[in-house]
Chain A
Amino acid sequence: MKKAKVQLSGIPQAKEMAIDPAKGTLSDGAGALRLDFPLTGNVYGTAMNYKGNLDEFGLSLHEAPYKKPPEAPVLYMKPRNTFTGPETAIAIPDGETEVEIGAALAIVFGRTASKVIEKNALDYVSGYTIVNDISLPHESIHRPAIKEKAQDGFCAAGPWIVNADEVVNPDDLGIRIYINGALRQEHSTSELVRPVGKLIADVTSFMTLYKGDTLLVGLPPGAPRVQSGDEVRIQIDEIGALTNHFVSERSFVKEGNR
């Protein structure tokens, strides 16, 4: 059992509860309760932070339009219209047949972090959660991918925020995506280009992350795609599992969200 901050549906104040990351259960007999989106601040994502991402681009990183491999962390935002909690239905937009699933370890900040040095970086972290960072498939990352990454419901998070001191080593966590119960992708945060501490130091060297803000460490290469009707479960060692299902936008609107 580990301690986590849990956002129970209908209860505005997050509670610290004991959770079982492997079984996905809560203490206090609260296992049947619905959980809400657990994050409160801005959500920033990092692209190209798995070594496999660089391999996917290969020599094209040296060609136009990129010209050379990235130096600073490659960042983007998931704005508030994208936020959705665990177990929700996520709409695949009209005109699209599939979306890409990005399995992200999410760092939640407990203190304002500005110009942090690497060896102190983890002191600023209050906990970790899981984000399903959804995108419309896009090959080019030359221009900001707003239409591809900022559609309504494209940032699912949860099920809870595991306390930082309960996670032994954030740079050695297995990450798996299951689609309709079948394992479709398996990676580890040991493959990060910038490990968690280094990433925090490099990002906060030019922008402040506030208490409550969240930074995604990256999306593993070979992101699987899903269609309407699919159920997606992202499982991260020591954190738990985040499940959502995908529906077509038309049925989503017709049937509503509840």
Chain B
Amino acid sequence: MKRARVSYKGNVYGAIVEDDQLLLESGQTVHESEVTWLPPLEAGTIFALGLNFADHASELAFNAPKEPLVFLKGPNTLIGHNGETPRPTDVTHMHYECELAVVIGRQGRNIGKDEAYDYVAGYTIANDYAFRDYLENYYRPNFRVKNRDNCTPIGPWIIDKDNVPDPMNLALRTYVNGTLEQEGSTKDMIFSVPYLIEYLSSFMTLNEGDIILTGTPKGPTKVNVGDEVVTEIEGIGRLANMIIQEQHAPIS
């Protein structure tokens, strides 16, 4: 089952998606063209992985890490399917990053690898944009690179765990204006989904609604204002995003 969160005629609803129809919690059935897609859940803690694919690490001239390189993101970063992501005027290196996002389904601490999937509710797609011009070597990747408003498209929906037989063997693809630009597979992750759940829960409690963005493979390239970026994961769906120019006039 695919579960979404949408806004429709002035209110917000949970919805179940079947083809191009959405069954809203209110009981109404509406066509996808009638809704605005929101991030598919109100996220708890958002974890993200850096350098979790060997090919991407070597592309950035890093050795593969020995321990997961984890960072946290605020909910200000999330934006739903078909949303717009602002590109600051002073950057050159705005990169998309197609990532499998794992949604935690129940609270756990000291979860073993063998039981890790028992704690997963489902999966979605994230595009964890990076603005490499802003990289600094303090708590890197630093917040100015990775915690910007609306710079982590996520969705369109969460697909139930049971509908994804092997999350560690899914093709990841990114298209820019319809051209395939990035391609990889979750089987090439350095630290697998069960490993990450065991690792994180060894020192902190994971809670229902937490999300783990599991890192991106080789191939991020620069994108520009006006580009349509589609990140796609086999068996989950496709997440579209449009790049717009950032407005910087203070409102105060």
Interface presence of B45 (CB below 8 A): yes
CB-CB under 8 A from A151, the residues of chain B are 203-204
Is chain A's interface secondary structure helix, strand, loop, or mixed overall?
loop
Instruction: Using known A-B contacts A66-B138, A81-B204, determine if residue A206 contacts B143 with beta carbons closer than 8 Å.
Output: yes
Most interface-central of B69, B71, B144, B149 (chain A CB within 10 A): B144
Kindly state the interface size class of chain A when it binds its partner. Answer: 35 or more
Interface presence of B222 (CB below 8 A): no
Interface string of B136-167 (1 = CB under 8 A from A): 11111111100111000000000000000000
Scan residues 81-132 of chain A and give those whose CB is less than 8 A from a CB of chain B. Answer: 81-82, 93, 114-117, 120, 123-124
**B149 near A208: Cβ-Cβ < 8 Å:** yes
Across the interface, name the chain A residue whose C-beta is closest to B109. Answer: A152
CB-CB under 8 A from B248, the residues of chain A are 115
CB-CB under 8 A from B141, the residues of chain A are 144
**A115 near B142: Cβ-Cβ < 8 Å:** no
Interface presence of A175 (CB below 8 A): no
**A115 near B72: Cβ-Cβ < 8 Å:** no
**A79 near B45: Cβ-Cβ < 8 Å:** yes
Interface presence of A146 (CB below 8 A): yes
**B250 near A116: Cβ-Cβ < 8 Å:** yes
Instruction: Using known A-B contacts A208-B149, A210-B76, determine if residue A75 contacts B139 with beta carbons closer than 8 Å.
Output: yes
Q: How far is the CB of B146 from chain A (nearest CB, A)?
A: 10
Most interface-central of B139, B207, B250 (chain A CB within 10 A): B139
Q: Flag the segment in A5-13, A29-37, A42-50 that touches B.
A: A42-50
Q: How far is the CB of B202 from chain A (nearest CB, A)?
A: 9
Scan residues 199-226 of chain A and give those whose CB is less than 8 A from a CB of chain B. Answer: 206-210
Scan residues 49-72 of chain A and give those whose CB is less than 8 A from a CB of chain B. Answer: 65-67, 70-72
**B137 near A66: Cβ-Cβ < 8 Å:** yes
**A207 near B149: Cβ-Cβ < 8 Å:** yes
Report how far A66 CA is from B70 CA in the complex, Å.
19
**A74 near B205: Cβ-Cβ < 8 Å:** no
**A81 near B45: Cβ-Cβ < 8 Å:** yes
Across the interface, name the chain B residue whose C-beta is closest to A115. Answer: B250
Q: How far is the CB of A254 from chain B (nearest CB, A)?
A: 15
Interface presence of B75 (CB below 8 A): yes
**A144 near B72: Cβ-Cβ < 8 Å:** yes
Interface presence of A145 (CB below 8 A): yes
Interface presence of B251 (CB below 8 A): yes
**A116 near B147: Cβ-Cβ < 8 Å:** no
Instruction: Using known A-B contacts A152-B204, A206-B148, determine if residue A144 contacts B70 with beta carbons closer than 8 Å.
Output: yes
Interface presence of A247 (CB below 8 A): no
CB-CB under 8 A from A48, the residues of chain B are 138
Interface presence of B252 (CB below 8 A): yes
**A80 near B44: Cβ-Cβ < 8 Å:** yes
Interface presence of B134 (CB below 8 A): yes
**B252 near A116: Cβ-Cβ < 8 Å:** yes
CB-CB under 8 A from A70, the residues of chain B are 136, 138
Interface presence of B74 (CB below 8 A): yes
CB-CB under 8 A from B207, the residues of chain A are 80-81
Report how far A150 CA is from B73 CA in the complex, Å.
13
**A208 near B76: Cβ-Cβ < 8 Å:** yes
**A117 near B139: Cβ-Cβ < 8 Å:** no
B77, B134, B149, B203: the one contacting A114 at CB < 8 Å is: B149
What are 8 A-B pairs at a CB distance below 8 A?
A: A70-B136, A72-B144, A77-B73, A93-B203, A115-B252, A207-B77, A207-B143, A207-B149
Which are the 6 A-B pairs with shortest beta-carbon distances? A79-B45, A75-B143, A144-B71, A77-B72, A74-B138, A81-B205
**B residues whose Cβ falls under 8 Å from a Cβ of A:** 44-45, 47, 69-77, 109, 134, 136-144, 147-149, 203-207, 248-252
